[in-house]
Copies of this chain bind each other. A is one copy, B any other.
Amino acid sequence: MESDLAKLRTLLTEHNDLESAASVLRWDQATYMPAGGSHARGRQLATLDRLAHDRIADPEVGRLLDRLQSRGSGSDAESDGARLLRVARRDHERAVKVPAAFVSELANHRTESYECWVKARPANDFALVRPLLEKTVELSRRYASFFAPFEHVADPLIGDADPGMKASVVRALFAELRAELVPLVKNITSQAPADDSALRRTFPEDRQLAFGRFLAEKFGYDFSRGRQDMTHHPFMIRFGADDVRITTRARIDDLSEALFSTLHEAGHALYEQNVDHAWEATPVGQGASAGVHESQSRLWENIVGRSRGFWNAFYGNLQKAFPDELADISLDAFYRAINKVERSLIRTNADEVTYCLHVILRFDFELDLLEGKLQVKDLPDAWRERFRADFGIVPETDADGVLQDVHWYDGFVGGAFQCYALGNVMSAQFFDAALRAHPSIPHEISEGRFDTLRGWLTTNIYRHGRTLLPVEIVERATGASLSVAPYIAYLKKKYGELYSL
């Protein structure tokens, strides 16, 4: 007779296959689907999502988990089996606790809100989306209520993206980070801005893409188990450990667009390609959290990809790829250009130093909205006020302010932003730990070799998938709890040298 564990694995695999199939349909939707396909695709995706939800919410999954745990499977809490059961239970309970009627109400609201925002942003019309955003806050609070009790209403929302993270912890980390970043940004931007005009020349797209692939392969992204396609918004997507794809966009008049988005997505892809194959098609066979994922995209994009050593290795190749365009640009000028810091309005265009401030502002407002301390009607003013405090500038329009991100206006508030700043924070802490273990890494990077770094990351982060919580990964990999200190130190050292602070 089939064992309970085998039965559970069968149900979990089916859930995984349905989710992976939905991912293939989403990838196609973003890359190659003709315009006419959108209506049927929406319906097909709704069907797959519903069936995937039904599978993980299946009462039989709950019964099997109960039986396995009562019989002592997983009594050794550190065993692989126990970890799989814990994560499966977490996913099962999350699926079970939210009533079907609410899921459907929220889905309808999300569509309506998104469609409204698509009109409101170009029209700079916050009033148009305000009633919907008010409902969004209410629905997000109701969603959280299904997971009561909690310390903070945002905890269940944060926990969906970053398991184990809580509002209180994140808020404290972010306050510390902000206190350091605001004066640092002020200090840097009081100097003459770096000249990045070299990146704004004309760069044929096919050569940009070929160069990005060349670097991604150098990192260790395996194209026999992945590929790169063009999309409006770049992303990484996993259909299995041996089919992990990235997408890119390119601008003929901006060398940094395709280049750094490729390095960023390649970082995500390295993570997914190196999750232990033993976890394939189970709930733990993927990256641990949004924050840990972002730590890897940012580590490869920024800590490696915008470092002096990295371009020491590859600037010659870049000049060969664009001989006419870059002949007169020195390595030093290029390095300064790709690390230009400026006070800007738009999060997605922000540099390494200012980026977290954009995120923290949004995170704080999310908590305030969910707590009821801030009303939606007061949000645009609050945005301007906070922006002035953090950046010393104020957006002239809501389109460039409170309306700029799709998050919130896609019908849900809470949990979507913290990963970006957490990822930056973790990236430096991980990189420091890798350097302590292998002091040769900076030298290897300056020779274009990444095996030691990728090996350390695989051993300490990638292979574990979701078997460890983000905080466990950080503690085991770095020997310390999550801290902003390494990231602050990294920024101060790098930009202190660049801007002679």
Contacts and interface: CB of A to CB of B under 8 A. Distances in A.
B40 A223 contact: no
Contact of A24 (B24, B226, B245): B24
A28 B281 CA distance: 19
B229 A37 contact: no
Nearest to A240: B40
Contact of A242 (B17, B22, B40, B245): B40
Contacts of A21: 21-22, 24-25, 44, 47-48
Interface residues of A, number: 40
Counting chain B CB atoms within 10 Å of each CB, the highest count among A24, A36, A47 belongs to: A36
A47 B16 CA distance: 10
A240 to B, nearest CB: 3
Interface string A24-65: 110110001111110111011001100100000000000000
A257 interface: no
Interface string A235-254: 00001111101000000000
Contacts of A25: 21, 24
A154 interface: no
Interface string A460-494: 00000000000000000000000000000000000
Contact of A44 (B20, B37, B227, B242): B20
Nearest to A32: B227
A49 to B, nearest CB: 11
A241 B243 CA distance: 29
A225 interface: yes
B243 A33 contact: yes
Contacts of A245: 34
A222 interface: yes
Contacts of A226: 34, 36
Nearest to A238: B40
A18 interface: yes
Contact of A40 (B18, B40, B280): B280
A37 B239 contact: yes
B34 A227 contact: yes
Contact of A47 (B13, B28, B43, B280): B13
Nearest to A48: B21
A32 B229 contact: yes
Interface string A51-93: 1000000000000000000000000000000000000000000
Contacts of A224: 34-36
A25 B166 CA distance: 38
A243 B43 contact: no
B32 A240 contact: no
A47 B223 contact: no
Counting chain B CB atoms within 10 Å of each CB, the highest count among A14, A226, A239 belongs to: A239
A225 B40 contact: no
Contact of A43 (B17, B34, B227): B17
Nearest to A47: B17
Contacts of A24: 21, 24-25, 28, 44
Contacts of A13: 43, 47
A32 B41 CA distance: 19
A243 B37 contact: yes
A281 B224 CA distance: 35
B36 A242 contact: yes
A240 B38 CA distance: 10
A243 B34 contact: yes
Given A34-B224, A34-B227, A36-B222, A17 B243 contact: no
Contacts of A227: 32, 34
6 contacts: A17-B44, A17-B48, A34-B242, A35-B224, A40-B240, A43-B281
For the complex of A and B, the 3 pairs showing the least CB-CB separation, nearest first, are A40-B240, A37-B243, A36-B225
Given A39-B242, A40-B240, 4 more contacts: A17-B47, A21-B47, A24-B25, A27-B28
